[in-house]
Amino acid sequence: MTAPLIGVTTSVTVGKYPERAYVNAAYLDAVQQAGGVPVLLAPQLGAAARAALLARIDGVLLTGGGDVDPARFGEPRHPAVSEVSPARDALEIELTHWALANGRPLLAICRGLQVLNVALGGSLHQDIPSDLPPALDHSQQALQQARRDQAVHHVKVLEGSRLARMLGALDVDVNSFHHQALKALGRGLTPVAWSPDGIVEGAEMSDGGRFVVGVEWHPEELVGHDPAARNLFAALVDEARKRGRR
């Protein structure tokens, strides 16, 4: 059986020389462990290269990284916003629309969920400590708990949601490396998971026929010991394999 190809977006250096495209190896490991073949999609790829890859890709993984440009949702930039890459924003928003138009399964992680929301017309809290001061601290670095495979808070998942079925659980303990969060929900997105402070930690397309799911935590770092995290990547790869047969 042919392993499905999963397009994995990359981070990019901003304002540094030499310019680089890169991705944490944990994403690649998680996709391969689930039976998929990761294919890197970097903003530096030209139109012809992108088209050639998209013709072959069976699923999409939007990864974490720097902040989305607030101009994308009509707001001035907060001082805490950093590592903005217009080229990365453009590629990932284009890729989101491509996946939706072509029926490819899409899993969005951390920044990826934020990109998905903005691509569908939603907005973001640009800085959780400033916008939502009673909220939990969602940055493990700030908590001095920088191990990426360590869970630091709880998430409640909506019963009956696709995300709940993917995880195989309604309650999960997660890691946390974000300072932004969903504000106004994009068209067709439904919130389906929340941290104890009420921040949206997961969302999916309300059209149940589409495999479009995002989470704010980093399950790729948890697959070594967390069955729910492994289940997320297995679900993406399984759905991509089905698409590849059509």
- Residues with a catalytic annotation lie at 110, 218, 220
Order across the sheet with 106-109: list the strands. Answer: 37-41, 5-9, 59-62, 106-109, 212-215, 200-205, 189-194, 153-157, 171-174
Categorise residue 74: left if φ over 0, alpha if ψ from -120 to 50, beta otherwise: left
> Does the CA dihedral 146-147-153-157 come out positive or negative?
positive
160 backbone dihedrals φ, ψ, rounded to 5°: 90, -10
Contacts of 41 (CB under 8 A, 6+ apart): 7, 8, 9, 10, 50, 53, 91, 95
CB 167 within 8 A of CB 155: no
